[in-house]
Amino acid sequence: MRTDSTRISDEIKNQCKSYIENTYGSSYTASGGMKAKKSNKKIQDAHEAIRPTSLDLSPAVVKDSLKRDQYRLYKLIWNRFMASQMAPAKYDTLAITMFCDQHRLRSYESNQTFDGFLKVYGDEKKGKSKKEEESASLPDVKKGDLVYLQDTSEEQKFTSPPPRYTEASLVKTLEEKGIGRPSTYSPTIQTIIARRYVENHEKKFHPTELGIMVTELIEEYFKKIIDYDFTAQMEKDLDEIADGNKEWQDIIREFYQEFRKDLEYAEKVMEKIEIEDPVSDVQCEKCGRMMVIKDGRYGKFLACPGFPECRNTKTIVEELGIDCPECEDGTIIVKKSKKGRKFYGCSNYPDCTFTVWDQPVKDEKCPKCDSLLLQKGYGKIAKIYCSNDECDYSRKVEESETGKEEAEV
């Protein structure tokens, strides 16, 4: 289910069962649908899971009536809902364990015998991964057989640090730790961004100097309230209050008696810290001071440190060093929309209105039409394509152990 709720009405369940039997066959139906696992804590389950309103409106039927993004979202919901009411896929798995002195080697082979709910995804879930394709099928052996070593290969592995949180992985962690409710996840993320505790770069959260400092102070002086178990227990206490099993005054009193001691101690001994604004290399043309970098509602900007005597401010212009493809003397700079989304436009705006959402590629032109190249996405899904709509040139950007390699597709 694609929401916090696993609830589905009996009416739509029966309709879905009939649809699956008529479309795929009776062997694909699952009695009662797939059972989603629930945690012990209560969740907001008063509403139904997000699902199609009518099974007559399949993705194929509504495709011509929807925009591209609308269709993709509808298909995602449709497939996930339908798959949740179908039988599981089945596999035959063979495992062979070989012994050599004190060493034990193991190999697996898995073959699908029944596609089950994967049927609804069609070609999207078919096929084997590159690793599965490269691995050979296991030989026909029985217990006690002698096997001979044919070849060995060595591969050096490096331990990678834990990946930075994204919005999705942070929400997943909050769920696993029992912190908050589905309705509080979005406000939590908005709060840590609005208070400048983290910055969102390439869809990953990076802690700011302020965020690191606040975290260190809280861990030192308020260890109890930053503990995972404390937050999870508070959620349970709130549920008990909602059920009428506990009085909220008792819960608050119990919490505040300990918290007040920590607060009073921190007020006495905690060092007052002031984060100074970074000094730029830009001189204020009004008073001669070196301007500092400040954070504003729409990002960073330059301001004179002589405020309020001098109120001079400037926008920080991030140039890419790429000439604008539509005008003679303009360059492409980084801009931000009113909603904070980054885009790229010409420095001669409004005389030149060239804008693109994806990042332009520097020092390279399209080999087919000599137009500007753009990069879309990051990491494994990154690709470079031509900005000319009439040109079909594109290639993916692949990362290897020796660096970034580009392979044409």
Is 297 a domain residue? yes
Examine the domain organization and report whether 6 and 139 are in the same domain. Answer: yes
Please, which residues have CB within 8 angstroms of residue 167's CB and are 6 or more apart in sequence?
189, 203
The reported pLDDT for the residue numbered 45 is: 54
Whether 192 and 237 share a structural domain: yes
Residue 112 domain-assigned?
yes
Do 27 and 64 have their domain in common? Answer: yes
Region of 202 on the Ramachandran plot (φ > 0 left; ψ -120 to 50 alpha; else beta): left
Domain housing 49: 1-145
Q: Would you say 277 and 292 are in contact if contact means Cβ atoms under 8 Å apart? A: yes
Please provide residue 248's backbone torsions phi and psi, each rounded to the nearest 5 degrees.
Answer: -65, -30
Shared domain check, 36 and 131: yes
Does any domain span residue 395? no
pLDDT given at position 402:
30
Cα 168 from Cα 67, distance rounded (Å)? 25
Mean pLDDT, contiguous 10-residue spans, the chain (409 residues): 69 91 90 51 64 90 92 92 91 89 87 90 62 63 86 86 91 85 86 88 88 90 86 85 90 91 89 79 87 77 87 83 86 80 86 89 88 82 86 76 35
What is the model's pLDDT at position 301? 84
Residue 54 lies in a domain: yes
Closest CA to 8 of 62, 41, 71, 55: 55
In sequence order, the 6+-apart residues with CB closer than 8 A to the CB of 28 are: 20, 21, 86, 87, 116, 117, 119
326 touches 320 (CB < 8 A): no
Could you give the number of structural domains in the chain? 3
Which tokens sit at 305? 């440190």
Which H helix or E strand runs over 183?
Answer: helix 182-194
Buried b or exposed e, range 59-84, using 16+ CB within 10 angstroms: beebeeeeeeeeeeebbebbbbbbbb
* φ, ψ (nearest 5 deg) of residue 284: -70, 125
Predicted confidence at residue 70, as pLDDT, reads 94
Strand partners, 344: 334, 356
Residue 359 lies in a domain: no
Instruction: State the Cα–Cα distance between residues 32 and 35, nearest whole angstrom.
Output: 8
CA 207, CA 193: separation in Å to the nearest integer? 10
Q: Please report whether residue 335 resides in a domain.
A: no
In a domain, 1, yes or no: yes
Whether residues 223 and 283 fall in one domain: no
What backbone phi and psi angles, to 5 degrees, belong to 382? -70, 140
| Per-residue confidence (pLDDT) for residue 407, from 0 to 100 | 36
Shared-domain flag, residues 255 and 204: yes
**Same domain as 213, residue 77:** no
Within this chain, do residues 308 and 201 fall inside the same structural domain, yes or no? Answer: no
The separation between CA 314 and the C-alpha centre of its own chain, rounded to angstroms, equals 33
Q: Confirm whether 377 is domain-assigned.
A: no
Strand order in the sheet with 290-296: 279-283, 290-296, 299-303, 313-315
